[in-house]
């Protein structure tokens, strides 16, 4: 598994936790590039080394 974990989903079909895991990338930039090509209601990029959310997006429902 790569360092930057990506979780995403649609607000009307939330799975929760690891069920929302869609992939991982080596860098934050690669993760953001991947998410720029996909359409989800929300997403989060998590640094697996620190446990911090390093970037996120939501269609105004929560942050």
Convert the pLDDT of each residue in 23-36 to its tens digit.
Answer: 999 999 999 999 99
Q: Is the Cβ–Cβ distance between 48 and 32 less than 8 Å?
A: no
In a domain, 19, yes or no: yes
Residue 13 falls inside a structural domain: yes
Contact 50, 15 (CB under 8 A): no
The reply to whether 53 falls in a domain is yes
pLDDT of residue 16: 86
Nearest of 15, 2, 4, 12 to residue 44 by alpha carbon:
4
Residue 63 lies in a domain: no
What is the pLDDT averaged over residues 52-62? 84
Give this prediction's pTM: 0.87
Task: Give the C-alpha distances (Å, rounded to integers) separating 18 from 1, 21, 35.
Answer: 13, 5, 17
For residue 21, the model assigns a pLDDT of: 97
In this structure, is the dihedral angle defined by the CA atoms of residues 14, 37, 1 and 27, taken in order, positive or negative?
negative
- What range does the domain containing 23 cover? 4-58
Domain count for the chain: 1
């Amino acid at each position: 598994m790569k360092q930057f974990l990506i979780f995403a989903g649609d607000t009307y079909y939330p799975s929760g936790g690891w069920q929302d895991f869609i992939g991982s990338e080596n860098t934050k930039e690669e993760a953001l590039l991947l998410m720029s090509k996909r359409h989800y209601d929300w997403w989060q990029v998590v640094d697996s080394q620190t446990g911090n959310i390093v970037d996120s997006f939501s269609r105004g429902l929560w942050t």
